A and B are shown apart, each in its own frame.
Chain A
Amino acid sequence: MAGIGFTLRKALGELGRSGKWRVYSAAAFVAAGPWLLTLISLFLLLAWGNALGLQADQRDLFFATITYAMIGSNLISTTAQFFLTRYLADALYVEAPERLLSGFTGIYLYTGLAALALSTAFQWVLPLPIAYKIWTVVLTVLLTQLGLAMILLSAAKAYWDIARGFLFGLLMLGVSALVYSIYLSVTSAQVDETVMLGLFTCGQAVAFLWLGRVIVRDFPGQMPVLYDALPQYRRYPELLGIGFLYAMTLWVDNGIYWFSDQGLIVGGSYLLSPGYDLAKFWTFLAFIPAFTLFSVNIETDFYQVFRRFYDAIESGDTLAPVRMFEEELRTETKAALLRMMKIQAFVASLSWVFAQQVKQFYPNVIDTFQWTIIGSVPHMVWITAFLLLLYFDARKQALWAAGIAVLALLAGGALATELNWSPGAGYLLGSVVMLLAALWLLNKQLDRLLFYAFYDPNGVRKRSLPPAASAHPRQRRLGHPVLDLDEEERFYQEQEEANRWELEMRLPSRREKHGKNKRKEE
Chain B
Amino acid sequence: MKVTLLLEGTYPYVQGGVSSWTHQLIRTMSDCEFSLVYIGANRQKNARYKYELPANVTHLQEVYLHDQDQGQGGLWRWRKRHRDEMHHFFKTGELPSQETLSIIRSKRHTPSVEAILEEKWAWEVTLDVYRELPNAPALVDFVWNWRSMWLPMLHLFRVPLPPGQLMHAASTGYAGWCGAVINRLSGLPLIITEHGIYTREREEEIVRADWVSLPLKGWWNQFFVRVGRAGYESAKYVTTLSQGNQKAQLFYGAVQEKMRLIPNGVNPDLYAQVTPTPDRPFTIGAILRVVPIKDVKTLLRAMAVVLRQQPDARMMLIGPQDEDQEYFEECLALIESLGIAERVQWTGSVNVLDYLPKLDCILLTSISEGQPLVMLEAMAAGLPIVATDVGACRELIEGFAGDDLGECGIVTRLMAPDETGAALLKLSGDRPLREQMGRVGRERVRRYYTLRDVMRSYRKLYDEAVMS
The answer to whether B68 and A461 touch across the interface, beta carbons within 8 angstroms, is: yes
Checking B117, B120, B131, B141 against A316 with a beta-carbon cut-off of 8 angstroms, the contacting residue is B141
Cβ distance B131 to chain A, nearest Cβ, rounded Å: 7
Cβ distance A152 to chain B, nearest Cβ, rounded Å: 33
The answer to whether B130 and A319 touch across the interface, beta carbons within 8 angstroms, is: yes
Give A454's nearest chain B residue, CB to CB.
Answer: B143
The answer to whether B118 and A455 touch across the interface, beta carbons within 8 angstroms, is: yes
The answer to whether B136 and A318 touch across the interface, beta carbons within 8 angstroms, is: yes
Interface assignment of B253: CB less than 8 Å from any CB of chain A? no
Q: CA–CA, A344 to B128, complex, Å? A: 43
Cβ distance A367 to chain B, nearest Cβ, rounded Å: 48
The answer to whether A322 and B112 touch across the interface, beta carbons within 8 angstroms, is: no
Q: CA–CA, A455 to B127, complex, Å? A: 14
Which positions 373-421 of chain B face chain A at CB distance < 8 Å?
none
The answer to whether A448 and B68 touch across the interface, beta carbons within 8 angstroms, is: no
Interface assignment of B73: CB less than 8 Å from any CB of chain A? yes
Interface string of B56-79 (1 = CB under 8 A from A): 000000000000110011100000
Cβ distance A292 to chain B, nearest Cβ, rounded Å: 37
Interface string of B334-355 (1 = CB under 8 A from A): 0000000000000000000000
Cβ distance B2 to chain A, nearest Cβ, rounded Å: 36
Give A460's nearest chain B residue, CB to CB.
Answer: B72
Greatest chain B CB density within 10 A among A320, A451, A455, A462 is at: A451
Q: Which residues from chain B contact A461 at a C-beta distance below 8 Å?
A: 68-69, 72, 112, 114
Q: CA–CA, A462 to B72, complex, Å? A: 10
The answer to whether B136 and A459 touch across the interface, beta carbons within 8 angstroms, is: no
Interface assignment of A317: CB less than 8 Å from any CB of chain B? yes
Q: How many residues of A contact B (CB 8 A)?
A: 15
Interface assignment of A512: CB less than 8 Å from any CB of chain B? no
Which positions 451-494 of chain A face chain B at CB distance < 8 Å?
451, 454-455, 459, 461-462
Q: CA–CA, A320 to B117, complex, Å? A: 22
Q: Given A316-B140, A318-B139, A451–B123 Cβ distance below 8 Å?
A: yes
Interface assignment of A314: CB less than 8 Å from any CB of chain B? yes
Q: Which residues from chain A contact B74 at a C-beta distance below 8 Å?
A: 459
Cβ distance A500 to chain B, nearest Cβ, rounded Å: 25
Q: CA–CA, A316 to B139, complex, Å? A: 6
Q: Which residues from chain A contact B69 at a C-beta distance below 8 Å?
A: 461
Checking B72, B112, B127 against A319 with a beta-carbon cut-off of 8 angstroms, the contacting residue is B127
Give B72's nearest chain A residue, CB to CB.
Answer: A459
Give B117's nearest chain A residue, CB to CB.
Answer: A455
Q: CA–CA, A282 to B45, complex, Å? A: 63
Which positions 310-328 of chain A face chain B at CB distance < 8 Å?
313-314, 316-320, 322
Q: Which residues from chain A contact B144 at a C-beta distance below 8 Å?
A: 454
Interface assignment of B137: CB less than 8 Å from any CB of chain A? yes
Greatest chain A CB density within 10 A among B74, B117, B123, B131 is at: B123
The answer to whether B136 and A319 touch across the interface, beta carbons within 8 angstroms, is: yes
Q: Which residues from chain A contact B143 at a C-beta distance below 8 Å?
A: 454
Q: CA–CA, A313 to B69, complex, Å? A: 27
Q: Which residues from chain B contact A462 at a C-beta distance below 8 Å?
A: 68
The answer to whether A313 and B112 touch across the interface, beta carbons within 8 angstroms, is: no
Checking B73, B117, B123, B139 against A459 with a beta-carbon cut-off of 8 angstroms, the contacting residue is B73
Cβ distance A345 to chain B, nearest Cβ, rounded Å: 35
Which positions 418-474 of chain A face chain B at CB distance < 8 Å?
448, 451, 454-455, 459, 461-462
The answer to whether A448 and B120 touch across the interface, beta carbons within 8 angstroms, is: yes
Interface assignment of B138: CB less than 8 Å from any CB of chain A? yes
Which positions 113-136 of chain B face chain A at CB distance < 8 Å?
114, 117-118, 120, 123, 127, 130-131, 136
The answer to whether A314 and B73 touch across the interface, beta carbons within 8 angstroms, is: no
Which positions 293-323 of chain A face chain B at CB distance < 8 Å?
313-314, 316-320, 322
The answer to whether A313 and B139 touch across the interface, beta carbons within 8 angstroms, is: yes
Q: CA–CA, A451 to B125, complex, Å? A: 12
Checking B112, B117, B138 against A318 with a beta-carbon cut-off of 8 angstroms, the contacting residue is B138
Q: Which residues from chain B contact A316 at a C-beta distance below 8 Å?
A: 138-141
Which positions 139-164 of chain B face chain A at CB distance < 8 Å?
139-141, 143-144
Cβ distance A275 to chain B, nearest Cβ, rounded Å: 47
Give B146's nearest chain A residue, CB to CB.
Answer: A454
Checking B72, B73, B130, B139 against A317 with a beta-carbon cut-off of 8 angstroms, the contacting residue is B139
Q: CA–CA, A314 to B137, complex, Å? A: 13
Greatest chain B CB density within 10 A among A313, A455, A461 is at: A461
Which positions 294-329 of chain B face chain A at CB distance < 8 Å?
none
The answer to whether A322 and B139 touch across the interface, beta carbons within 8 angstroms, is: yes
Cβ distance A393 to chain B, nearest Cβ, rounded Å: 15
Greatest chain A CB density within 10 A among B112, B140, B141 is at: B140
The answer to whether B131 and A319 touch across the interface, beta carbons within 8 angstroms, is: yes
Interface string of A394-426 (1 = CB under 8 A from B): 000000000000000000000000000000000
Cβ distance A77 to chain B, nearest Cβ, rounded Å: 31
Which positions 27-80 of chain B face chain A at CB distance < 8 Å?
68-69, 72-74
Cβ distance B110 to chain A, nearest Cβ, rounded Å: 13
Q: Which residues from chain B contact A448 at a C-beta distance below 8 Å?
A: 120, 123
Q: CA–CA, A316 to B143, complex, Å? A: 11
Q: Given A459-B72, A459-B73, A461-B68, A318–B137 Cβ distance below 8 Å?
A: yes
Q: Given A448-B120, A461-B112, A319–B73 Cβ distance below 8 Å?
A: no
Q: Which residues from chain A contact B140 at a C-beta distance below 8 Å?
A: 313-314, 316, 454
Q: Which residues from chain B contact A320 at a C-beta distance below 8 Å?
A: 136
The answer to whether B123 and A319 touch across the interface, beta carbons within 8 angstroms, is: no
Q: Which residues from chain A contact B137 at a C-beta distance below 8 Å?
A: 318
22 A-B contacts (beta carbon < 8 Å)? A313-B139, A313-B140, A316-B138, A316-B139, A316-B141, A318-B136, A318-B138, A318-B139, A319-B130, A448-B120, A451-B123, A454-B140, A454-B143, A454-B144, A455-B117, A455-B118, A459-B72, A459-B73, A459-B74, A461-B72, A461-B112, A461-B114
Starting from the known contacts A319-B127, A319-B139, A320-B136, 15 additional A-B residue pairs (CB-CB under 8 Å) come to A316-B138, A316-B140, A316-B141, A317-B139, A318-B137, A318-B139, A319-B130, A319-B131, A448-B123, A451-B118, A454-B140, A455-B117, A459-B72, A461-B68, A461-B114
Ranked 4 nearest A-B pairs via Cβ: A316-B138, A318-B136, A454-B143, A451-B123
